[in-house]
Amino acid sequence: MVQDKCKELNKDINLFTIDSAESLENFRLKYLTKKSPIQDLFNLIKDIAGDERKQAGQYINEVKQQAEAKFEQHKELYTKSNIKNQPVFDYSLSHNAVNTGSRHPLQITLNSIVQLFSKLGFTVSNGPEIENDWHNFSALNFPAEHPARDMQDTFFVNAEHALRTHTSSVQVRLMESTQPPIRSLMPGRVYRNEAISARANCFFHQVEGLYIDRDVSFADLKYTLYEFVKQFFNNDVKVRFRPSYFPFTEPSAEMDISCQICKGSGCNVCKQSGWVEILGCGMVDSQVLTNCKIDEQIYSGFAFGMGIERLTMLQYGINDLRIFFDNDIRFLKQFVPEN
Ligand code: DAH
């Protein structure tokens, strides 16, 4: 009986893992104190007679020696005296700077756009990247045969749904769910089936703006966008509006700014013209308001949309759009984190 118990203890001792000062101490407390199971066995054999007692004592002693040997073996490794022999840690050493990374340049641009427009009372709204035909096209007045609906431009998910081709879809969602006054920015990723090059990618980022209230005019649109570019680029920036066409705005325009790279004297970026286009804009078409259940007799509004990659390229003098998506740390770490 004592023999069986010793065998069991033997096994437990072998299986006990000592891999730290703490587990070494736990081992000692478990097997080498007065309350250990080994000691219990010694107490038990007091009642056994003669030879049998001698035999049992031998078994228990073997277990005890085994436990002591294991303890001694590991003591070397894990006791404090051993740690003392190691080099003293110098607490006055400076710490290794923690590598915190930096914000992605596109996010830096978006953050500053959001911040500048928030001063004018604009909030931020989001919408889904997989859109139905109504929100991406129909509500925005795209005729059924419009080329933007073409398979060549749009990534269709199924007959009804596509990856949104612009963030204008969020305008529709916002107008459907909110009555004016509306003043919001709609940032997000958009997708177009385009060949990848230095100037185009099959996905990119836009930020759209929408302002709807009573008596909103084209003058408000010009003022708002002019104020924005002055603060985003610099006070010397010049702007010009060229008539354009979008199905969802009437009248529509594109806004150019004086080239920030050559300051208007002509370079590769502005194709020697001194101007670069940065956004599309216009007065929200009355049919779009009606489509979204907003009374066009009472309300009017303007909208604009711009590419975040394009603004970032102009801001930092970057000439290849693909570099934004390479995740090359040498490129990314040049952008100082914001506060
Ligand atoms: N949705 C247009 C595009 O992707 C950009 C745009 C133009 C948005 C005019 C607008 C706008 O809100 O008014 O090319």
Q: 177 and 267: one domain?
A: yes
For residue range 255-296, list pLDDT tens digits in order.
Answer: 999 998 888 888 888 889 999 999 999 999 999 999 999 999
Ligand 1 center to residue 78 CA distance, Å? 69
Tokens representing 34?
A: 């007065």
Q: 36 and 161: one domain?
A: no
Quote the CA–CA distance of 196 and 201 in Å, as a whole number. Answer: 5
Q: 11 and 160: one domain?
A: no
Whether pLDDT at 170 is above 90: yes
Quote the CA–CA distance of 136 and 145 in Å, as a whole number. Answer: 14
304 touches ligand 1 (CB under 6 Å)? yes
Least confident of 12-16, 216-220, 266-270, 325-329: 266-270
Q: What are the start-end ranges of the H helices in 178-301?
A: 218-232, 286-291
The pLDDT of 35-57, averaged and rounded, is 87
CA–chain centroid gap for 144, Å, is 37
Q: 179 and 316: one domain?
A: yes
Domain contains 300 = yes
Q: Are 319 and 313 in contact (CB under 8 A)?
A: yes
**Neighbour-count burial for 238-271, b at 16+ CB within 10 Å, e otherwise:** ebebeeeebbbbeebbbbbbbbbeeebeeeebbe
Domain contains 10 = yes
The pLDDT of 240-257, averaged and rounded, is 97
303 touches ligand 1 (CB under 6 Å)? yes
The pLDDT of 188-217, averaged and rounded, is 95
Q: 128 and 73: one domain?
A: no
Q: Are 209 and 304 in contact (CB under 8 A)?
A: yes
Coil, helix or strand at residue 200: coil
Quote the CA–CA distance of 94 and 194 in Å, as a whole number. Answer: 51
- Tell which wins on pLDDT, 148 or 17: 17
Q: Which atom of ligand 1 is nearest to the CA of 171?
A: 12
280 touches ligand 1 (CB under 6 Å)? yes
Q: Are 174 and 126 in contact (CB under 8 A)?
A: no
| Amino acid identity, position 336 | V
Domain contains 36 = yes
Q: Say which CATH number the domain at 110 has.
A: 3.30.930.10
For residue 114, name the pLDDT band (cuts at 50, 70, 90): very high
Domain contains 338 = no
Domain contains 258 = yes
Q: 160 and 71: one domain?
A: no
Domain count, the chain: 2
Domain contains 316 = yes
Domain contains 245 = yes
6 touches ligand 1 (CB under 6 Å)? no
Coil, helix or strand at residue 264: coil
The pLDDT of 147-157, averaged and rounded, is 82
Least confident of 99-108, 203-212, 299-308: 99-108
pLDDT of residue 3: 86
Sign of CA dihedral 271, 274, 278, 284: negative
Residues counted in the chain:
339
305 touches ligand 1 (CB under 6 Å)? yes
168 touches ligand 1 (CB under 6 Å)? yes
Tokens representing 33?
A: 């104190």
Whether pLDDT at 83 is above 80: no
For residue 182, name the pLDDT band (cuts at 50, 70, 90): very high
The pLDDT of 304-328, averaged and rounded, is 93
Q: Which atom of ligand 1 is nearest to the CA of 284?
A: 13
For residue 120, name the pLDDT band (cuts at 50, 70, 90): very high
Nearest CA residue ID for atom 8, ligand 1 = 305
Q: Which atom of ligand 1 is nearest to the CA of 302?
A: 13
Kindly report the pTM of this predicted structure. 0.72
Whether pLDDT at 238 is above 50: yes
Quote the CA–CA distance of 268 and 195 in Å, as a whole number. Answer: 21
What residues make up the domain containing 42?
2-84
Q: 256 and 223: one domain?
A: yes
Ligand 1 center to residue 31 CA distance, Å? 78
Sequence-ordered list of residues with C-beta below 8 angstroms from that of 180, at least 6 positions apart, any chain: 212, 213, 214, 294, 299, 301
Ligand 1 center to residue 297 CA distance, Å? 23
Domain contains 48 = yes
pLDDT of residue 339: 47
